[in-house]
Amino acid sequence: METMKKRLPYAFAHALCMFIYIGMYVAGYIMIDILHLRISFGTMVVTLIPLVFWILLMLNFYKNLASMSKAFLISSIIIGIFICSISWVKLGYNEWKSHFDYDRWVSNHEQRSYMVASLLEQHELKGRSHEEVLALLGAPDTLATSQEPQSTYVYGMGRAGLGVDSERLVIEFDQDKVSEYRIDVD
């Protein structure tokens, strides 16, 4: 009975720590999704920090609680690694989703916001002709023209951030060449 009273606070502390640990990764997963984070040294380190603390905490529990079995310690660490790896899978998925691909750009407007950074890194838009832009991006969603020899292509990119505002890539032409481009949020 006495050992049960000693174990109970540690069991409660372990359960609370596991709940906090999972909560941190759920919040991180949501932030990865909202911010469209991709694999980088910084994101990998940030996802590893809670895992390191989890392992140190489990080792501390093991050291201070003689009745804690090695199997429980190892299974707790494996669960921690599994939860951490879910974040890595999401980062990898975002990395794949973020690469510009003509077919995905044309067929799935909601995915364009993921690809636009890759598009702008890989392809210089300034100075391109109407035909070159159409070959690269397909037909615009809307075409605005004015009396002057300038026109504007608008490519919708779906919802931004929290899904409240819409993003769009606006490409302005002057003398049949791209003079300016920007991402608008409304």
pLDDT, tens digit (0-9, with 9 covering 90-100), for 72-115: 889 889 999 999 999 999 999 988 888 999 999 999 888 888 89
Does the pLDDT of residue 146 top 60, yes or no? no
Question: Residue 46 pLDDT more than 50?
Answer: yes
* Closest to 175 measured CA to CA, from 123, 127, 124: 127
Q: How far apart are CA 123 and CA 119, in angstroms?
A: 6
Of all residues in the chain, the percent with pLDDT exceeding 90 is 34
Q: Is the confidence at residue 134, as pLDDT, over 90?
A: yes
Provide the token pair at 80.
């921690």
Q: Assign 124 a pLDDT band (cuts: 50, 70, 90).
A: very high
Least confident window among 18-32, 39-53, 57-71:
57-71
| The length of the chain, given as a count of residues | 186
**Radius of gyration of the chain from its Cα atoms, rounded to whole angstroms:** 25
Q: What is the pTM of this model?
A: 0.69
